[in-house]
Amino acid sequence: MNNYNYVYSFPECKADFEQITSDEGNTSIYSCNRITKEGFDAYKHKCKKIFGYFNYLEGKGTSSSVPACCKYLNYWLYDELINNKESIYNTLSLFESFLDTYENDYNPGSEVCKRYMEDINDNKYKQVNNLFDLYNLFNQFEDPSILFTSDHCDKAKQSADKYNTLLNECQNVINQDYCETLDKFRIQYNQRVKLVNTCEQVPKYLPSYKSNNMAVTILIPIIITLAISFILFFLHKYTTFPSQLFLKIKKNARIFDYQYENAENILPISQSFNRNSEKGAWNMAYHTGTW
């Protein structure tokens, strides 16, 4: 499983997370003493937020937003702790530690977010962050409260510019999941912006990374054909290679003709011999029958 498939929901998950964790009533009931006793004092405040959000997600049961929000929590944890140099542990270890403490101390048997734990490295964090910013800009463009303001068109233009920048990362399609998620955004953007008539400076269509790769695929055989044509022209114009090749072909043709003529000459003799042999054998059989 990867974070890319869920990034489009991150802005919504972020809003939920900030709303839930800003209310002390949702977090003050939790204690992180066991974690702080192990020397992780920097985690105390964040630990309470995470536990409060775990409880919120459990209350949503099997809602389709739960996987995305668990993935968002994974991302948030990396951003808050590792990216800010507050931890020497990887995200997966931290996530497991918080889940174990939450289950053991507050909700025995809890399975919240366990299926969606994932370690995030620096490269993946940057890619997720880029996609998150992209969707965040686009969601602001769709915000009804700025519909008749200059910000409405500005956010659409910013999201288009950012998409075109990220598109360069998919020239060689090193990460298929990342590029496919980027393409899903393109489809959503194109469908929405074509209905907008008030933003003249905003691109109405974003190109796909697939079209760039298709162009390369088409160009390769054309380039190869041109290269072969140039080489043959050069050999014909400036070397004796074509003459030598023609002489060799002509020589081989003569050898073939000679062998063919010999075969023609040998064939009648062989056929004559076979007919005589057959005739002799027939005569011998007849003579034997008479005797």
Do residue 135 and residue 58 come from a single domain?
no
Give one word for 84, left, alpha or beta, with left for phi > 0 and alpha for psi -120 to 50.
alpha
In this structure, is residue 261 part of a structural domain? no
Question: What's the whole-number mean pLDDT along residues 178-191?
Answer: 95
Which of 119, 140, 168 corresponds to the end of one domain?
A: 119
So what's the pLDDT on residue 136? 94
So what's the pLDDT on residue 72? 95
Structural domain for 232, as ranges: 213-241
Q: Which residues contact 247 (CB under 8 A, 6 or more apart)?
A: none
So what's the pLDDT on residue 180? 94
In this structure, is residue 35 part of a structural domain? yes
| 154-170 pLDDT, tens digit each | 999 999 999 999 999 89
Do residue 114 and residue 3 come from a single domain?
yes
So what's the pLDDT on residue 84? 72
145-150-152 Cα angle (round to 5):
50
Helices 122-141, 65-77: axis angle to 10 degrees equals: 120
In this structure, is residue 199 part of a structural domain? yes
Torsion 27-29-33-34 (CA) sign: negative
In this structure, is residue 286 part of a structural domain? no
Better-scored residue on pLDDT, 40 or 176 = 176
Residue the block writes with tokens 């999941």: 177
Indicate if the pLDDT at residue 268 is higher than 80: no
Do residue 27 and residue 131 come from a single domain?
no
Do residue 199 and residue 129 come from a single domain?
yes
Indicate if the pLDDT at residue 76 is higher than 80: yes
Which of 72, 97, 119 corresponds to the end of one domain?
A: 119
So what's the pLDDT on residue 83? 74
Do residue 198 and residue 233 come from a single domain?
no
Question: What's the whole-number mean pLDDT along residues 210-224?
Answer: 46
So what's the pLDDT on residue 174? 80
Percent of the chain with pLDDT strictly greater than 70: 66
Residue the block writes with tokens 């889940």: 99
Better-scored residue on pLDDT, 5 or 290 = 5
Closest CA to 47 of 84, 72, 81: 81
Question: What's the whole-number mean pLDDT along residues 100-112?
Answer: 90
Which of the given ranges, 54-58, 116-120, 218-222, has the highest pLDDT on average? Answer: 54-58
Q: How far is CA 44 from CA 32, 37, 49, 124, in A?
A: 6, 10, 9, 26
Indicate if the pLDDT at residue 50 is higher than 60: yes
In this structure, is residue 248 part of a structural domain? no
So what's the pLDDT on residue 81? 78
So what's the pLDDT on residue 117? 86
Do residue 2 and residue 111 come from a single domain?
yes
Q: How far is CA 230 from CA 225, 226, 238, 242, in A?
A: 9, 6, 12, 14
- Please indicate, yes or no, whether the overall pTM of this predicted structure exceeds 0.85: no
Better-scored residue on pLDDT, 95 or 205 = 205
Do residue 109 and residue 153 come from a single domain?
no
In this structure, is residue 269 part of a structural domain? no
Do residue 178 and residue 217 come from a single domain?
no
Closest CA to 67 of 18, 5, 23, 11: 5
Indicate if the pLDDT at residue 258 is higher than 80: no
Environment class of residue 191 by beta-carbon count within 10 Å: exposed (0-12), middle (13-18) or buried (19+)? exposed
Which of the given ranges, 28-32, 139-143, 182-186, 285-289, has the highest pLDDT on average? Answer: 182-186
Indicate if the pLDDT at residue 253 is higher than 70: no
Do residue 17 and residue 111 come from a single domain?
yes
Do residue 235 and residue 164 come from a single domain?
no
In this structure, is residue 274 part of a structural domain? no
Chain-wide mean pLDDT for the chain?
77
Count structural domains, the chain.
Answer: 3
Do residue 79 and residue 25 come from a single domain?
yes
Q: Let me know: does 56 contact 132? Beta carbons within 8 Å.
A: no
In this structure, is residue 11 part of a structural domain? yes
Q: How far apart are CA 271 and CA 266, in angstroms?
A: 9
Do residue 231 and residue 185 come from a single domain?
no
